[in-house]
Amino acid sequence: MLQGQNNGNNGEGKEVVIIGAGPAGLTAAYELCKADVQSVVLEKDNIVGGISRTVNYKGYHFDIGGHRFFTKVKAVDKMWREVLVDGKFLRRNRISRIYYNKKFFHYPLRATNALFGLGIWNSFLILLSYARAQAFPQKPEETFEQWVSNRFGKRLYRIFFKTYTEKVWGIPCNEITAEWAAQRIKGLSLLTAVKSALLAGQAKNKEGVIKTLIDAFDYPERGPGMMWETVADIIQRKKSRICFETNVEKIHWTTSRITELEIITRGRKEMIQGTHFVSSMPMRELIQKCEPAVPEAVLRAAEKLSYRDFLTVALIINKPNLFQDNWIYIHDSEVKVGRIQNFKNWSPHMVPDPNKTCLGLEYFCFEGDGLWTMSDGQLIELATKEINALGLARASDVEDGAVVRMPKAYPVYDSVYADALEVVRGFLSSIGNLYLVGRNGMHKYNNQDHSMLTAMLAVKNILGANYDIWGVNADQEYHEEIKSSGKSESDELTLLASTQPKVPRRKVHGA
Amino acid sequence: MDLNGILALTSNRKPKSMEPSLTPSEVASLGASSASDELLIQALAKLDRVALGIAVGILFGFSVLAATVILVIKGGNQVGPNFGLLSQYFIGYSVSLQGSVIGLTYGFISGFIIGWLMAFLRNLFVSAYLHAARLRAGMSSLNDFLDNP
């Protein structure tokens, strides 16, 4: 499976320590194995995969957030196919809807479904609101709310944007910058729009096949964790090590190098040395654990990096089928749940009993807030109450439940993050044998494939290349659709970078 | 304000006196990359209401003038009995040389109104179509918004 290929680079004498066994950390270890370089992976949890893990509760498997396997980069896709062979990937059709006002709407949106679902009067009001926004746009356009309202009208904004965006990010939409909206919502040009309207239905029959996450995606039989558990097996067979339940306590450094790490594994303290260190641990923690302490300004900057956290309440329901969707977005401010996954619809192998269904109710929160600090029992009770209120399942059918808390699920781009990140990056760039990878390692809202890419590039750099890992994601836009065509690897790396979503930035008052 | 005006306003571009449904700056910004793009842009170009009004007005006016003069030259016991019925609508018109001038005026005015209305309705339709296309394009840009909020 793995072939030792050094690509002319020298892997000899390299001892690599990798912090974190998520997609980035394990990809780094996997790529190093390919170059015949052994590594040690330090994982504070007792399971691999990071946020891309699959949790197993009494034989019910659930995925933290729902991870579709689709990438535009051959290198990443190639690795997935190398790791999971023999039909372990399932091709799944995507079905997802929005729950709003006690009704369901297809997502991606379909005009007729939306208009009929909202009712004639409401649709008329939406059109009026749209016309009003077109005739009298709000000026100046500074916030997410203003930006979206100006383009779609206030009513559509309230229906499809406000509630969910605020649930996910915990920031009122009138405090998120318009710039983020412009980055995230890129429309087609008018000419392209007209052409696609005129040629509707014909494009898919043409030469350029449209690959899209919107219609279908691949999914491992037992969720994304299956991928990372297999990678973990592969790298361990190649004599690399994964140390579970291992916390990095101190990072000893000199002016230009990390010398060793102080780790604690199940209460046992140990020092670990290496020639190169790959870190996917949250950047804030990395800085705070440096020994001797980093300059005060860097420490203060690191403290300004913040995160949005996430928890999933899995409910086991005594019904063979509840709904056909893979997931449903909940645009209802009456309930706290943001999204509901139906794991059985991702893969039938996720549920051990075909007569049962397992739903994942996802709550976006901040570590330490009211939701986060609720006990598991209280959270299961809340989720049961909400699933009943939404009419998706009866409370009496809920048999069991489990809670998974995922701290630091999303890096937050608030008004202070950019300056703080620059300071921290500036400092860390002086440490020559440290490579930052992954979502939290770089404080970047990377998807799974992008996290993998950063690790691939880091390994290339360890082996002698000189890629700018930070440069690949700058000022790009996000589109899930792309025509397949022959592209060079560097084009593809750039292309992958272009797939990474932006996260909102809070508006600075008075700015 | 008609829809084209609104369209221009939402594009943050001022409407021009000879504006097409796509304003010149919009046309320039479209960056047509092929002959078919050029054709599409031309097909969507806005008709000038006054220009079309004048063109149709001249056509109608001179048609009435020419028809009247031909009938007068042709002569006969009863000159242009059918054409003379135009006087039901064009008060003061008759199939005569003097009537031909009055017919020219009436023809021009009615032709102008018809041409102006044709241009107005056509522009309205194209604008509505463009608005729908723009809204649809806007909605399509939301296809991944919730997936990666």
User: According to the model, what pLDDT value does residue A188 have?
Assistant: 60
* B45 part of contact set with chain A, CB < 8 Å: no
Residues A212, A218 contacting (CB under 8 angstroms): no
Q: Is the pLDDT of residue A204 over 70?
A: no
**Rg of chain A in Å (alpha carbons):** 23
The chain-wide mean pLDDT, for chain B, equals 78
Q: What value does the mean pLDDT take over residues A469-474?
A: 60
The verdict on ipTM greater than 0.90 is no
Find tokens 């390299």 and name the residue: A14
Binned at pLDDT 50, 70 and 90, residue B110 comes out as very high
As a whole number of angstroms, the distance between CA A504 and CA A47 comes to 30
Q: Which residue from B minimizes the CA distance to A97?
A: B146
Q: Is the pLDDT of residue B129 over 90?
A: no
User: According to the model, what pLDDT value does residue A151 have?
Assistant: 84
Residues A328, A96 contacting (CB under 8 angstroms): yes
Q: Is the pLDDT of residue A62 over 50?
A: yes
Binned at pLDDT 50, 70 and 90, residue B28 comes out as low
Q: What value does the mean pLDDT take over residues A53-68?
A: 94
CA distance B37 to chain A (A): 8
List B residues 119-148 in contact with A (Cβ-Cβ < 8 A). Answer: 129-148
Q: Is the pLDDT of residue B9 over 60?
A: no
Q: What percent of chain B has pLDDT over 70?
A: 77
Beta A398-412 vs A306-317: how paired, if at all? Answer: antiparallel
* Residue A197: CB atoms within 10 Å: 16
pLDDT single digits (tens) A72-88 = 778 899 999 999 987 89
CA distances from A90 to A22, A348, A357, B115 (A): 22, 10, 19, 61
Q: Do A109 and B148 touch (CB under 8 A)?
A: no
Q: Is the pLDDT of residue A216 over 80?
A: yes
Please give the structure tokens belonging to residue A35: 């170059």
CA distances from A261 to A16, A158, A217, A276 (A): 12, 50, 40, 11
CA distances from B102 to A130, B63, B67, B109, B116 (A): 48, 12, 13, 11, 21
Q: Which of A100, A176, A191, A478 has the most B C-beta neighbours within 10 Å, making it the best mutation to test the interface with B?
A: A191
Q: Which residue has the higher pLDDT, A230 or A502?
A: A230
- Point out the residue among B9, B141, B147 whose CB comes nearest to the CB of A188: B141
Residues A155, A123 contacting (CB under 8 angstroms): no
User: According to the model, what pLDDT value does residue A313 have?
Assistant: 97
CA distance B113 to chain A (A): 27
As a whole number of angstroms, the distance between CA A122 and CA A116 comes to 9
Angle of the B97-140 helix axis to the A190-198 helix axis, nearest 10: 100
Q: Which residue from B minimizes the CA distance to A111?
A: B136
Q: What is the DSSP letter of A110?
A: -
As a whole number of angstroms, the distance between CA B127 and CA B114 comes to 20
User: Buried (b) or exposed (e) across A362-375, using 16+ Cβ within 10 A?
Assistant: bbbbbbeeebbebe
The CATH architecture of the domain made up of A16-53+72-87+220-304+414-497 is 3-Layer(bba) Sandwich (3.50)
Give burial (CB, 10 Å; 0-12/13-18/19+) of A486: exposed
* pTM exceeding 0.90: no
* Residue A22: CB atoms within 10 Å: 28
* A447 part of contact set with chain B, CB < 8 Å: yes
Q: Is the pLDDT of residue A135 over 50?
A: yes
* Residue A152: CB atoms within 10 Å: 24
Q: What value does the mean pLDDT take over residues A239-251?
A: 96
User: According to the model, what pLDDT value does residue A67 have?
Assistant: 92
Q: Which residue has the higher pLDDT, B28 or A262?
A: A262
Q: Is the pLDDT of residue A218 over 90?
A: yes
What residues does A268 pair with on adjacent strands? Answer: A265
* A131 part of contact set with chain B, CB < 8 Å: yes
Binned at pLDDT 50, 70 and 90, residue A44 comes out as very high
Q: What value does the mean pLDDT take over residues B92-107?
A: 94
Chain B residue numbers touching A164 (CB-CB < 8 A): 146, 149
User: According to the model, what pLDDT value does residue A6 have?
Assistant: 41
Binned at pLDDT 50, 70 and 90, residue A482 comes out as very low
pLDDT single digits (tens) A354-399 = 999 999 999 999 999 999 999 999 999 999 999 999 999 999 999 9
Q: Which residue has the higher pLDDT, A125 or B37?
A: A125
As a whole number of angstroms, the distance between CA A248 and CA A27 comes to 20
User: Buried (b) or exposed (e) across B110-137, using 16+ Cβ within 10 A?
Assistant: bbbebbbeebbeebeebbebbbebbbbb
